[in-house]
Structure 1
Amino acid sequence: MQAPAIGGVQAPRGGGQTIRLSRGASLADFADKIGANPASLVQIMLHLGEMVTATQSVNEETLQLLAAELDYNLLVVSPEEEDRELLESFDIEFGEDEGDEGDLVARPPVVTVMGHVDHGKTKLLDAIRHTNEVAREAGGITQHIGAYQIATEHEGEDRKITFIDTPGHEAFTAMRARGAKVTDIAVLVVAADDGVKPQTIEALNHAQAADVPIVVAVNKVDKEGADPNKVRAQLTEYGLVAEEYGGTTMFVDISAKNGTGIDNLLEAILLTADAELDLRANPTMDAQGVAIEAHLDKGRGPVATVLVQRGTLRVGDSIVCGEAFGRVRALLDDNGKLIDEADPSRPVLVLGLTAVPGAGDNFIVVTDDRMARQIAQQRAARKRIADMARSGRRRTLEELFSEMEKGQVDELKLIIKGDVSGSVEALEDALLKIDVGDEVRLRVLHRAVGAITEYDVNLAVADDNAVIIGFNVRPEVRARDLAEREGVDIRYYSVIYQAIEEIEAALKGMLKPEFEEVQMGTAEVREVFKVPKIGNIAGALVRSGTIVRNSKARLIRGGVVISDNLTVSSLRRFKDDATEVREGYECGIGVGYNDIKLDDVIETFEMREKPRV
């Protein structure tokens, strides 16, 4: 292998060879893969204009830059593949049913309800479950995912359907995408009086990306101005052609408020499941599935809503879910009743975890608590390294010099605490997408589920008085007292878009004001008067606008600026002092500059702050 000198540094060249690295790998990891000295790679990166230490976790872009320079093909392992390799090291296969074909039995379909905000998704589930979920939601907007299983009769047979309710606000895009990943069928709710909206298309894209069949529920057909046929026509543009138009998508007209058409919708779901899907799972294997939601319960500790996808989850099982692990102490169904086990496609509340998992984390049942702890700890370590690489912003030498010259970029630091992990994650995702330019940055120091603690307040104090955001949570008594003593700003929200709007306003408030020059008036010099002890005064005719005393001015001769940064120090009309002289009037102007000639132009202006858009 040839070892060419790059910037005077010897390094082995790859010759197109492919190397695999995990997310957040360091230059030392890269050097280990190619048999090089880490110090030489640090020097090469310096030659490329990047300041990186040998042990620092770096992002994929930096690793690709180095790989291209050394002629290697770099493959950064995806989080899913990374997790699969981790589980394989423990002889666990996730995502596949064990056993023979004969071990598989039919399971209920998992249905995700999606659509535009306020089109009636939660009302529909409310009608299906005969409960009242809408009244519990702040602002009438679903704030986090819920999962429910209902029973219905289909062709003389009792059948079950599991429903997942995903939030409707655009800030929950990441959670809605997760909802599509765990689902078998997507129900797209579209209001007949409102038609197809941007979030309708967004939800449709998620469902199509997950490659799941779609059933369209045309809601609010009983309202004045409702036009179900318009909805059918609009959705044909996006590839959803109704059966009555010769297509394959089932459209069902419903009124969630009055409860009409609900049975037809359930029948359409089961018909779609039977016709297009082979929904079977092995109930005898160790359970596997996904966390739909999780939160910290004051009396019960970490609580997670999980959807069992294969196998049977039982009380007493050792479980690992994302970075959380534990032994299942209790299982509760969607009605809050204690149950002993949960079979495939059943959503249950799990008690007994050591920490709050993230919404969308997969869970597995393992042989013992020791294995569960090891998997959770390795997952946490890998995620921490990947987060360090992502949050560590690449800075070139030019950027470093630039920052030294103009001072550091202003930064708003946040600590986010919420009631459920899905909401915390979605809020962070939405806040980090706020763009107010390069002058101000937003950084999330810490995010977690549960009440605001003394740790959060101390972290805010230690890190230049960061702002704490409480989403549906409040501080503990001692934390509140500490925050008052230290002057830490704690903001409380129950609806996510209010938090986004306020933080965006705060970021814009941190921006340094931008000024623009506004011309006030021009005056043409007609005569020059010499005044003892004062100097030359211009006898002038105001050609445009208004000449105002004490305004800034410049002297222009033949279209060329002769002197800038002058001030109208004296302004007179005949023998009287004037504060301003309007267009068409003559006046005497003193600008503290003696080289004034006939036909010169005095231009006055002021600097006004530009409003931020």
Structure 2
Amino acid sequence: MAKNQNAKDIKNINQQLKQQTAHVDDKGVFVFSEPLTIAELANALNVSIVDIIKYFMKQGKLYNQNYLLNEELMSEVCLEFGFDFKKTKSVTYENILETVEFDDKPEQMITRPPVVTIMGHVDHGKTTLLDTIRNSKITNQEHGGITQHIGAYQVKTNENKLITFIDTPGHEAFTEMRARGSKITDIVILVVAADDGVMPQTKEAIDHAKAANVEIIVFVNKMDKPEIKTDRVLSELSALGLTSEEWGGDTIFVYGSALKHEGIDKLLEAILIVSEVKELKANPNRFANGTVIESHYDKNIGSICTLLVQGGTLKVKDIIVAGAIRGRIKKMTNDLAREVTEALPSAVVQVLGFESAPTPGEPFVVFNDEKLAKKISSARQLQNDYKSQQEKQISLGNIVQEASSGKLKQINIILKADTQGSLQALTQALNKINVQDIQVKLVRASVGGISESDVTLAVASNSVIYGFNVRPNNIVRDAAKDAGIEIRLHNIIYKVTEELEKAAKGLLEPEYEEKVLGQARVVRLFHYSKVGTIAGCLVVDGVINRNNKARVLRDDVVIYDGEINTLRHEKNDIKTAKKGFECGLTIKNYNDLKENDIIEAYAIEMVQNNG
């Protein structure tokens, strides 16, 4: 029976792959679906590799036959050699993990356990709730087997039904998986402390859950505390779009205490109700597919990887590809550290057998065909190398291009401001923008400095980050640069709305752009009546020049904007202080400096927008 199913699965996959071959159809149109090397394109068009290389040489481009051409370059070659062209969607070695369709028949589908992630503010009891659920729902017989943590576990409810809990290390990790296209979670449990209410990380959790488009159940924790503020919690969450059923909304609220083991059964019951409505089903009788939850490399054992099975049944000895990494499963263990030979849909297991550690969030598929698995992993690795060089920037320049071509329908913005008043004024102004049915959507709007979490969310939601009187530090700036996320910085409200309206119209003009030159941290202060306050600084990034424009940042919020007046090293005037250099400086007309303030030097340069 198993052999017959294997044969059917391999035949199904190969049939889908056969549809992807790049070719010239009977009307002389070149049909393709993925980037091709010059050699592959020459073969498909039946033209000389040398002739294609010569074509690019005339343009000053020195490419060899293994150079991977993007869609634009392929279309150029087609037109040069007299072919029309058409891109189609199909299953290829490069995209098969995301696009393969399994022949799942209705009669083969069974109800699977829901997959749940717990999120919320750091002090509101997420970890306590996870531990309480796990410890209260694992029998004494099972407790002896708990010797490891694999990032997830399954519990059995009083109704004898299973629920899978994913223990992500933070909201950023949750959204990084979403950014890679992985939908691992069916339900998010939002933990909010009854004595504290909505906090910054509560808002973050809601943003991330909504970006992933998953159901949210609110667990109001710490109901055992003497000073609880449930009405305040209900009101604050309602303002964020989560209105409880008792207030006429459609969000399930459960009240309890993770520490006192109160409300746990009601929470599990609510999870089962939501999952029943969602009709979560999967076919266990085929090759397995799913998502990588965690992975790391142990020099004594090799690559250790935690997998969430989302369809099919994963078995020992299966040949598997995750991302661009392939392997053969040698061993599987569950969250009780017990060795298992198979894992059904919604199960999470730790496996050995990958050649190297795949990236968390990557999809995996079992193929049980060594040659096919090798072709797929090689093709995906080549594509990854290409994508890293051709990564699309998420910027206003791209928005202008899309607006001009009529493709743009919505501009996603993450807005960070220095005060609640500024935030409210900006939010109201941005919500009024509607140009030719193009709207501005605020994916996140909050007070405080721009963080790495903002960058991660921007990747997942294709957003541009706007900072109003706040600035990213050098770590955040580097993360945004690596991720291709643009950060726009302003201190005048109408400039923000004017810029976005022009972007929506496709009319963004050449502009002046700020370039951060360097940052220095205030280590010590010296006060002199004739001079004012001298800041003893350590340059932590870039270069500080005398007479640079400069701003003072305190907790990533702009306190003052002016210019550097003097720059000295010991008793000598200097022109420049580089990273790692100690210096003393004064800010023109400003003396209210404090230790650990950041002095950020910058210049204003005119740039030509690429729209």
TM normalised by structure 2 equals 0.53
Q: 2:108 maps to what in 1? A: 103
Q: Label 1:268 to 1:330 Cα distance change in 2 as closer, same or farther (>3 A).
A: same
SS at match of 1:86: coil
Q: Label 1:327 to 1:231 Cα distance change in 2 as closer, same or farther (>3 A).
A: same
How much has 1:130 moved relative to structure 2? 1.5
Map Cα deviations across residues 516-557 of structure 1 (whole Å, 9 max, x no partner). 399xxxxxxxxxxxxxxxxxxxxxxxxxxxxxxxx99xxxxx
How much has 1:245 moved relative to structure 2? 1.1
Whole-angstrom CA distance in 2 between matches of 1:38 and 1:265: 64
Out of 243-252 and 115-124, give the one that drifted further: 115-124
How much has 1:231 moved relative to structure 2? 1.9
Q: Map residues 48-127 of structure 1 onto 2, 5 A cutoff.
A: 53-54=62-63, 84-86=91-93, 96-127=101-132
Whole-angstrom CA distance in 2 between matches of 1:98 and 1:118: 46
Q: Map residues 533-572 of structure 1 onto 2, 5 A cutoff.
A: none
How much has 1:376 moved relative to structure 2? 1.4
Map Cα deviations across residues 65-110 of structure 1 (whole Å, 9 max, x no partner). 999x99x999999xxx78x422787xx8856453421111111111
Q: 1:266 maps to what in 2? A: 268
Paired residues of 1:174 and 1:426 also in contact (CA < 8 A): no
Whole-angstrom CA distance in 2 between matches of 1:73 and 1:218: 61
Return the match for 1:515 from 531, 546, 556.
Answer: 546
Whole-angstrom CA distance in 2 between matches of 1:296 and 1:507: 37
How much has 1:388 moved relative to structure 2? 2.8
TM normalised by structure 1 equals 0.53
Map Cα deviations across residues 566-603 of structure 1 (whole Å, 9 max, x no partner). xxxxxxxxxxxxxxxxxxxxxxxxxxxxxxxxxxxxxx
Q: Label 1:323 to 1:437 Cα distance change in 2 as closer, same or farther (>3 A).
A: closer
Whole-angstrom CA distance in 2 between matches of 1:217 and 1:95: 37
Q: Label 1:105 to 1:54 Cα distance change in 2 as closer, same or farther (>3 A).
A: same
Paired residues of 1:436 and 1:507 also in contact (CA < 8 A): no
Q: Label 1:287 to 1:94 Cα distance change in 2 as closer, same or farther (>3 A).
A: farther
How much has 1:347 moved relative to structure 2? 0.5
Whole-angstrom CA distance in 2 between matches of 1:41 and 1:145: 51
Structure 1 unaligned spans of 5+: 1-16, 47-51, 133-143, 393-424, 446-500, 519-550, 553-605
Q: Map residues 190-589 of structure 1 onto 2, 5 A cutoff.
A: 190-275=192-277, 277-390=278-391, 509-516=540-547
Paired residues of 1:114 and 1:165 also in contact (CA < 8 A): no
How much has 1:169 moved relative to structure 2? 5.8
Q: Label 1:118 to 1:170 Cα distance change in 2 as closer, same or farther (>3 A).
A: farther
How much has 1:167 moved relative to structure 2? 2.5
Map Cα deviations across residues 330-376 of structure 1 (whole Å, 9 max, x no partner). 11001110011111110011111111011011111112233222221
**1:129 and 2:164 equivalent?**
no
Map Cα deviations across residues 208-253 of structure 1 (whole Å, 9 max, x no partner). 3333221111122233443222222222223322111122211011
Out of 254-263 and 199-208, give the one that drifted further: 199-208
Whole-angstrom CA distance in 1 between matches of 2:186 and 2:257: 24
SS at match of 1:303: strand
Whole-angstrom CA distance in 2 between matches of 1:339 and 1:278: 27
Question: Structure 1 counterpart of 2:297, which letter?
Answer: L
Whole-angstrom CA distance in 1 between matches of 2:260 and 2:251: 24
Q: 2:165 maps to what in 1? A: 163
CA RMSD of aligned residues (A): 5.1
How much has 1:386 moved relative to structure 2? 1.4
Paired residues of 2:98 and 2:363 also in contact (CA < 8 A): no
Paired residues of 1:185 and 1:214 also in contact (CA < 8 A): yes
How much has 1:437 moved relative to structure 2? 8.1
Whole-angstrom CA distance in 2 between matches of 1:235 and 1:163: 24
Map Cα deviations across residues 414-443 of structure 1 (whole Å, 9 max, x no partner). xxxxxxxxxxx999979x9995689x9789
Paired residues of 1:108 and 1:162 also in contact (CA < 8 A): yes
Out of 321-330 and 206-215, give the one that drifted further: 206-215
Structure 2 unaligned spans of 5+: 1-28, 138-148, 394-451, 460-464, 466-470, 483-518, 524-536, 550-570, 573-583, 589-597, 601-611
Paired residues of 1:27 and 1:53 also in contact (CA < 8 A): no
Paired residues of 2:171 and 2:205 also in contact (CA < 8 A): no
How much has 1:284 moved relative to structure 2? 1.0
Map Cα deviations across residues 132-166 of structure 1 (whole Å, 9 max, x no partner). 9xxxxxxxxxxx98111110123xxx100001122
How much has 1:515 moved relative to structure 2? 2.0
Paired residues of 1:149 and 1:160 also in contact (CA < 8 A): yes
Whole-angstrom CA distance in 1 between matches of 2:305 and 2:221: 31
Q: Is the radius of gyration larger for structure 1 or structure 2?
A: 1
Paired residues of 2:171 and 2:204 also in contact (CA < 8 A): no
Q: Label 1:225 to 1:248 Cα distance change in 2 as closer, same or farther (>3 A).
A: same
Whole-angstrom CA distance in 1 between matches of 2:95 and 2:180: 24
Q: Label 1:59 to 1:120 Cα distance change in 2 as closer, same or farther (>3 A).
A: farther
Q: 1:546 maps to what in 2? A: none
Q: Label 1:509 to 1:18 Cα distance change in 2 as closer, same or farther (>3 A).
A: farther
Paired residues of 1:323 and 1:377 also in contact (CA < 8 A): yes
Map Cα deviations across residues 28-62 of structure 1 (whole Å, 9 max, x no partner). 99999999955555666x7xxxxx64459799899
Paired residues of 1:516 and 1:609 also in contact (CA < 8 A): no
Q: Label 1:32 to 1:109 Cα distance change in 2 as closer, same or farther (>3 A).
A: same
How much has 1:320 moved relative to structure 2? 1.4
Question: Structure 2 counterpart of 1:511, which letter?
Answer: G
Whole-angstrom CA distance in 2 between matches of 1:224 and 1:340: 49
Q: Label 1:148 to 1:248 Cα distance change in 2 as closer, same or farther (>3 A).
A: same
How much has 1:172 moved relative to structure 2? 6.6
How much has 1:309 moved relative to structure 2? 0.7
Paired residues of 2:182 and 2:361 also in contact (CA < 8 A): no
How much has 1:310 moved relative to structure 2? 0.9
SS at match of 1:130: helix
Question: Structure 1 counterpart of 2:310, which letter?
Answer: Q
Question: Structure 1 counterpart of 2:323, which letter?
Answer: G
Q: Label 1:335 to 1:60 Cα distance change in 2 as closer, same or farther (>3 A).
A: same
Paired residues of 2:282 and 2:345 also in contact (CA < 8 A): yes
How much has 1:308 moved relative to structure 2? 0.7
Whole-angstrom CA distance in 2 between matches of 1:38 and 1:301: 43
Question: Structure 2 counterpart of 1:85, which letter?
Answer: T
Q: 1:612 maps to what in 2? A: 599
Q: Label 1:317 to 1:231 Cα distance change in 2 as closer, same or farther (>3 A).
A: same
Paired residues of 2:53 and 2:63 also in contact (CA < 8 A): yes
Q: 2:140 maps to what in 1? A: none
How much has 1:292 moved relative to structure 2? 0.8
Q: Label 1:442 to 1:317 Cα distance change in 2 as closer, same or farther (>3 A).
A: closer
Whole-angstrom CA distance in 2 between matches of 1:300 and 1:265: 39
Question: Structure 2 counterpart of 1:208, which letter?
Answer: K
How much has 1:185 moved relative to structure 2? 1.4
Q: Label 1:304 to 1:53 Cα distance change in 2 as closer, same or farther (>3 A).
A: same
Whole-angstrom CA distance in 2 between matches of 1:32 and 1:278: 48
Whole-angstrom CA distance in 1 between matches of 2:152 and 2:199: 25
